[in-house]
Amino acid sequence: MLKSLVLRGLLVSITSLLVACSGSDMSDLDAFMAEKLARPGGVIQPIPTFKAYEAFAYSATTLRSPFDRPVQVREVTQLSARSAVQPDNERSKEFLEQFTLDSLQMVGRLERGGQSWTLVKDPEGGIHRVQAGNYLGRDHGKVVNMDGTFVAVVEIVSDGTPEGWVERPRTIELGGQ
């Protein structure tokens, strides 16, 4: 019984849909099309030209890895490792040696009584005075020169051999740049 009621309801709804679509009054559609056809045609912009893709050939695959030391540097390093370059582990560490050199910023210069200091800011926000001869950075960096715009530091770093050390010059510029 329920099945026949559902079937009759479905038949009535399909019939009403077909009757609604059977009207042939399309005057509104004809008027719209006539209006569009009466307008002058527009100019279509040309398709933009594209540059041909140039394939990039990575040619550095046959070169030395940037993480390997060049042969000449190894030889020079071995010679300099035997020299007197090595960190002084007997001296007491200064406060700024607990920070990396890249994290320190030069923020100014101070002169008083004929003596000059460079002001260095640590990553924690503290400002410290340094002079030539002071140490800073984790790699045994020693201040060797100061100017109004930079601090020159020479670090003593391992050359990769068990007992070899080399000097590496670095600078800290005003404003941390």
Task: Please list the pLDDT of the chain residue by residue as tens digits (177 residues).
Answer: 777 878 888 888 887 777 666 666 788 888 999 998 888 877 888 888 888 888 887 777 767 677 766 555 555 555 544 556 788 888 899 999 999 988 999 999 988 888 899 999 999 999 999 999 999 998 899 999 998 889 999 998 887 777 778 888 988 988 744
The first and second tokens of residue 52, run together, are: 């041909």
Predicted pLDDT at 95: 93
Dihedral of CA 167/169/170/173: which sign?
A: positive
Predicted pLDDT at 23: 62
Q: Is residue 39 in some structural domain? A: no
**What is the CATH number for 164?**
2.30.30.830
Q: Is residue 138 in some structural domain? A: yes
Q: Is residue 167 in some structural domain? A: yes
Predicted pLDDT at 177: 45
Count the domains in the chain: 1
Q: Is residue 37 in some structural domain? A: no
Q: Is 58 helix (H, G, I), strand (E, B) or coil?
A: coil
Predicted pLDDT at 142: 93
The first and second tokens of residue 49, run together, are: 């030209």
Domain coverage including residue 124: 88-173
Task: Using alpha carbons, select from 114, 113, 104 the residue that is nearest to residue 151.
Answer: 104
- Dist CA 120 CA 40 (whole Å): 73
Q: Is residue 15 in some structural domain? A: no
Q: Kindly report the pTM of this predicted structure.
A: 0.52
Task: Using alpha carbons, select from 21, 166, 34 the residue that is nearest to residue 87.
Answer: 166
Q: Is residue 72 in some structural domain? A: no
Q: Is residue 43 in some structural domain? A: no
DSSP 8-state assignment for residue 174: B
Q: Is residue 163 in some structural domain? A: yes
Predicted pLDDT at 78: 54
Interacting residues of 173 by C-beta distance below 8 A, sequence separation 6+? 106, 149, 150
